[in-house]
Amino acid sequence: MAVRMHSPRRATRPIDKKLLQSYASEAARLRAHAASTTTARIRARLLEEAASQERLAGEVNAGQTGFATPALRSPYTRER
């Protein structure tokens, strides 16, 4: 049975915009919590997570969503 491979597609612009907004709002929320936190260890963790959200937003903006395309999937996965 032949396996049909689809060409990799970028997410559509509305989805990109929605992802960017969600990552940006999450980063802002985490930074606001970090500003009001008194524990240094928790503040550092919140800021680390905010930076991670900003990194993800940058990847979406650059078109690198991180989703595996059919060409990049493992040859051992079964098609459904």
pLDDT, the chain, mean? 76
Task: Say which residue, 23 or 7, is predicted with more confidence.
Answer: 23
Give 23-35 pLDDT, tens digit per residue: 999 999 999 999 9
Query: Where in the sequence is the domain holding 39, given as residue range(s)?
Result: 13-61
Residue 27 and residue 33: Cα distance in Å, rounded?
10
Structure tokens at 29: 């929320």
Residue 79 and residue 70: Cα distance in Å, rounded?
11
Q: What band does 37 get if pLDDT is binned at 50, 70 and 90?
A: very high
What is the percentage of the chain residues whose pLDDT exceeds 90? 42
Over range 36-65, report the average pLDDT: 89
The answer as to whether 70 is a domain residue is no
In single-letter form, the type of residue at position 58 comes to: G
Give 53-73 pLDDT, tens digit per residue: 999 888 888 776 655 444 445
Q: How many structural domains comprise the chain?
A: 1
The answer as to whether 73 is a domain residue is no
